[in-house]
Structure 1
């Protein structure tokens, strides 16, 4: 997001040496940081991350100010780890220009399905630790905390309007004759267009409030994709575990929605179709096992695999129905085309009838 990174080498009084990374916000990006509430990441590391153990990097110091946009986090240097996105092939724009075979081989070349499964187990740990915790609702710095208590309609509506305005502009451009369209104009899949039309036609705060009463909510990373997970490299210490990073958009929401966002972002449709059921099942098994270990037997029993699958499908679709028009306006056409195609494939697989899609998820 808006973070800048600098390496900090420290020699302690007793002679011990530490290599840390400082994540901060530059002056040029303070306004964006304020607008999006990105300093919340520091509060996450101070107040919630200690409950997650090694699934997130250790932070020695974290300070964030939502009013000024300032943020400084000193965390462990995990440069030996590899962004998990590199194992998903050259499709995603984050991988363009990278030496993927070299990067992958440095970490043992695990198949994308294996990497996704391990990431889903990490998300299960995150989600189970804070499963429908009333404590979260009292943390006003979390994205969505107000929304889940019936407050903050204006901010929710503003977030929806960002994508809705983009879609209106795209519709106007697409209505022009082909000769009058920009040469780099995106190719819009008809089924994707139909789903977008239905989805934005359903935007309603009242319906959102009704929908979230049926959602099994928890703490969510908020910006869930393979680039925000790290896989141990060959130089990582023995026993190093996969880690989740970048909690600038941390908030309250559907846990299984994050899985849909993750796979649509990076996994090829063909591979996704072959393994998404088993990946969601692995997540569900780990999630419910961890809930039972916490003494939450009733909560685990109440969340069936089919509920989890439904949340994965509806949440993944809803999140990307918000992203697609927004990205189409702010990204180069080639980048936006990739995400259009990924989302279109998911919608074709899971929503053959566009009338079944829900409103976009912000």
Structure 2
């Protein structure tokens, strides 16, 4: 295996590191408390210039919101905001972050019609305002999402329709906090759609996981299933969208200069403590999940094949093996979403002139990684087995062909069979650690675990007979193992 020479200091697992990070979170929470009292004392939410929202704020400054939306094109210049209502967020939600809908009502300048009111729909995602959350964010680096949204790399990202419109970002990895105010994609062009209700070619944006049946949770009755694309066509579009994003930074070494990206440190031989913490946490959770199943406490049945792959991967996992993988020049890397699944994607069907496009959110795991891992993750997460067995290889071939068209790869250097093998390995590896964590994750229902088990098993079987050490624990979400708390 060709490797780069890396100078790497072996950093041992250290409780001292956890104590230092805990002290950092205490200092960060103290700073945030002082900041909150200062802003509450010297700034008004209804007059003056106001101030940007922070974690824990219970209201939003109207003057600040007005100037921010006007500057970013969210509302016309001269418009007057009459209210900003915080609403709960129903439906698709992730496992981290506090998400709030904000319904902004405004009037246009010089309007003489008292009923001439307009609305803009926003989403605010922010970290929780408590020390334990700050500690978790410091360790995981979750503030990278809003740093990404504000970066040049995001502003230049292809396709240009991939990101929601961002109005405000604040992120600090040191403080373990973040805030982003963005458009509510599902309400994009809402007023236009009401006025153009007779145009059957225009439809509201829709969650892409509904196209595939939304795993075990099902599709709400409010969704017109007949209007959804065919799952195989949707899979093609997802893969082709990923090809555009991946091609833009294929083997781009300048990515390694962006230290806020997840995994940058791993590629440069640092971040061992956090990776090993996550490895231990995953193994502990997996062993607990197996015990819960064996005792009958949790109604999940694990197949022999999944047990063998999971146990083998955790047994052989090591920082040294990870470094050997990441320093292998034959394995490409690029900018990847890092949590590429259909519940993080919305199909925008609202335009009168443009074809439906995919918009992605929840970039908290944005990273440098092997490209096809993104694709394998969503197949296991979302796509019914019968569909991915019949269509995954065809969809991946379209992805590979598109990479060639965009000049990212040469077919003789990165063959389709290499791409296919990478897809099969990467998707499974993305799910190995994740599945271990979910097997005993508090509140996760048994039928959800069984669903993911069956999906993972079918994907492993798609690879056929492979080497015994084909799968490894590689990519993880960094957090401290339970015995550190």
For the superposition of Structure 1 and Structure 2, which TM-score range results when normalised by the shorter chain? 0.7 to 0.9
Q: Secondary structure at the match of 1:89?
A: coil
> Of 204, 208, 213, which aligns to 1:89?
213
Give TM-score scaled by structure 1 length: 0.87
Aligned position for 1:306 = 417
1:124-163 residue pairs with structure 2 within 5 A? 124-163=243-282
Alignment TM-score, normalising by the size of structure 2: 0.66
Taking structure 1 as reference, are residues 11 and 256 closer, same or farther at Cα in structure 2, changes over 3 Å only?
same
C-alpha separation in 2, matches of 1:27 and 1:3:
10
Unaligned segments of structure 1, at least 5 residues: none
2:458 alignment partner, one of 326, 340, 345: 345
5 Å matches for 1:179-194? 181-194=295-308
Question: Which residue does the alignment assign to 1:197?
Answer: 311
CA–CA distance in structure 2, aligned partners of residues 130 and 272 of structure 1: 27
Change (3 A) 1:153 1:275: same
| Partner residue, 1:277 | 393
CA separation of 1:5 and 1:346: change in aligned 2, threshold 3 A: same
Instruction: Determine if contact 1:119/1:229 at 8 Å carries over to the other structure.
Output: no
**CA distance in structure 2 between the partners assigned to 1:285 and 1:103 by the alignment:** 34
Determine the C-alpha separation between the residues in 1 that align with 2:135 and 2:271: 21
Query: Is the counterpart of residue 103 in structure 1 residue 223 in structure 2?
Result: yes
Partner of 1:57: 164
Closer/same/farther in 2, CA of residues 297 and 335 from structure 1, 3 Å limit: closer
The answer as to 2:149 corresponding to 1:35 is: no
- Residues of 2 paired with 1:297 and 1:334: CA distance? 41
The count of corresponding residues between Structure 1 and Structure 2 is 346
SS at 2:357 equivalent: coil
| Structure 2 gap segments, 5+ residues each | 1-95, 111-117, 187-203, 476-485
Higher relative contact order (CA 8 A, sep 6+): 1
Deviation at 1:159, TM superposition (A): 1.9
In the other structure, the counterpart of 1:264 is 380
* Rounded Cα–Cα distance in structure 1 between residues aligned with 2:353 and 2:128: 35
323 and 55 in structure 1: CA distance in 2 versus 1, 3 angstrom threshold? same
Q: 1:172 to 1:99 in 2, by over 3 A?
A: closer
Q: Residues 85-130 of structure 1, C-alpha deviation per residue, up to 9 Å, x if partnerless?
A: 001125x14x34x426x42437x22111111111111211211112
1:171 is displaced (CA, Å) by 4.5
Quick check: which one's helix share is greater?
1
Aligned-partner SS, 2:185: coil
Could you tell me whether the CA contact under 8 Å between 1:42 and 1:71 is conserved in 2?
yes
* Contact residue 167 and residue 325 of structure 1 kept, 8 A: yes
Give the CA deviation at 1:23. Answer: 2.3
Contact 1:12–1:18 (8 Å) recurs in 2: no
CA distance in 2, matches of 1:282, 1:112: 15
Secondary structure at 1:55 match in 2 = coil
CA contact (8 A) 2:101 2:121 kept: no
Name the structure 2 match of 1:320. 431
In the alignment, the residues of structure 1 paired with residue 338 and residue 279 of structure 2 have an alpha-carbon distance, to the nearest angstrom, of 16
Q: Which has the larger radius of gyration?
A: 2
